[in-house]
Structure 1
Amino acid sequence: MGRSSRTEGTASDPPRAGHSGVGADIRLLRKSRKVPLTELAAELKRSVGWLSQVERGLGSASIADLRIISRFFSVPISFFFRNEDAPAEERGLIVRVGARQQLGTSETGLTEELLSPDLSGDFEMLRSVFAPGTESGPLPARPTNDGGVVVSGELELSIGERTFRLGEGDSFQFRDRPTRWRNPGKRETVIFWVCSPPVYCRLRRCHPSLPSP
């Protein structure tokens, strides 16, 4: 069971109120990563019952809780506030270009934007930008369908034992295969990805590295 070594909500760190979607976001993120309630509750030093209530909209997580959750899942804390300014009729349906959730930093060589409104569907859409010279190293197979199209630049993509060099307009698809990618060019490469089921945040499973200076 999750630990309860700190108070379930404090006056110095007021709960995050007025946004019932935060709990749903936590649950979707946890489910997409296949993390048990007990594991996340232990990380938060909260009880499983408290976390379950937050996920069901019956309780509130503090800003401190959200910071811990964002670090645990390697997502920015702004992930939990991304829909606040969206009109009610667009939430869960539309993502405006200025409201895309960004993942990663330029230091990693790979930055991504979540194009899907949330993680509740059968697939996720991502826009990935690979810095020149960035490569992933070997990535293990996973039980997902991945596909994408090169919007600009070029990508060297290894699927199993075969390696392909893709250019603008080329597309690809694979399932449950070990992969590796590299940007062999001198400019950024932009890819639109679709992945099913959602695994949200590709950075969680690969560690791109920039070339040595």
Structure 2
Amino acid sequence: MSVMDEVRSGLGTDLRRLRKSKGLRIADLAALTNRSTGWISQVERGRSRLDYEDLKILAQAFELPLSQLFRRDGAVLAPEDTVLRADQRRALSADNSGAMDDLLTPMMAGIHFYSSELAPHTASERPRHEGDIMMGLVVKGDVQIRIGDRHHHLGAGDSFWSRGEAFSWLNPHDTPCTVVWVLAPLPDDPDA
């Protein structure tokens, strides 16, 4: 079993437990998420990939913060908790691109702080996060990014930021690349 299969299987098992703990049938969850019962069943059995939109919809259906689906142990963080241990986090595939994302803290005010392992010879599926502020630091490896119409080659220690522009990445190398990201909504005041 691959790492991705293990991740999907673990998340699927947790989603099944969560659904049952809420007293929901597969058909109930399908109705809440506007998805088919077959899709819900495939997710619970670890046979479907989930992207952020899927996770957001599931979190809304369960009335949970999205960050809760990244927790391995399923325990809800108390408001006074300020530490999230490495073994409490679950890395998830953000899309079918080859990126494994690890949410580093619970989301606060729409701010995402996460780490991604970009597999060799992979690329983002499409430009993402248009309309958000995105910042990143390449921790390990090399990556190519496109911000708007500008193309950049980055290595370990390089950082970047984008203010509301389309963003995409490419790892054409034989080694993985690790990037730490912060994603936040644009403020209402354009001069902020």
- TM-score, normalised relative to structure 1: 0.53
Within 1, Cα distance between the matches of 2:124 and 2:69? 24
Structure index of larger Rg: 1
Aligned partners of 1:138 and 1:178 also within 8 Å:
no
Within 2, Cα distance between the matches of 1:137 and 1:85? 32
Within 2, Cα distance between the matches of 1:170 and 1:80? 27
- Single out whichever of 136-145 and 170-179 deviates more from structure 2: 136-145
Q: Which residue, 101, 121, 132 being the options, matches 1:144?
A: 132
- The alpha-carbon deviation at position 138 of structure 1 amounts to 4.0
- Residue 43 of structure 1 corresponds to 34
Within 2, Cα distance between the matches of 1:144 and 1:106? 18
Amino acid corresponding to residue 88 of structure 2 in structure 1:
A
Q: Answer yes or no: is 1:176 the counterpart of 2:164.
A: yes
Q: Answer yes or no: is 1:115 the counterpart of 2:93.
A: no
3-state SS, counterpart of residue 91 of structure 2: strand
For each residue in 1:72-98, what CA deviation from the matched residue of structure 2 results, as whole angstroms up to 9, or x when unmatched? 84349981764645785764x321111
3-state SS, counterpart of residue 41 of structure 1: helix
- Residue 10 of structure 2 corresponds to none
For each residue in 1:128-181, what CA deviation from the matched residue of structure 2 results, as whole angstroms up to 9, or x when unmatched? 011111112541562110001000000101111211100000000001112221
- The alpha-carbon deviation at position 191 of structure 1 amounts to 0.1
Which structure 2 segments of 5+ residues have no match?
1-18, 24-29, 60-67, 187-192
Alignment of 1:36-185 (within 5 A): 41=32, 43=34, 73-75=53-55, 79=69, 82=72, 84-85=74-75, 88=78, 91=81, 93-104=82-93, 108-117=97-106, 119-139=107-127, 142-185=130-173
3-state SS, counterpart of residue 182 of structure 1: strand
3-state SS, counterpart of residue 165 of structure 2: coil
State the aligned residue count.
Answer: 144
More strand by share: 2
- TM-score, normalised relative to structure 2: 0.59
- The alpha-carbon deviation at position 41 of structure 1 amounts to 3.0
Alignment of 1:13-24 (within 5 A): 14-16=20-22
Within 2, Cα distance between the matches of 1:42 and 1:172? 35
Q: Percent identity?
A: 26
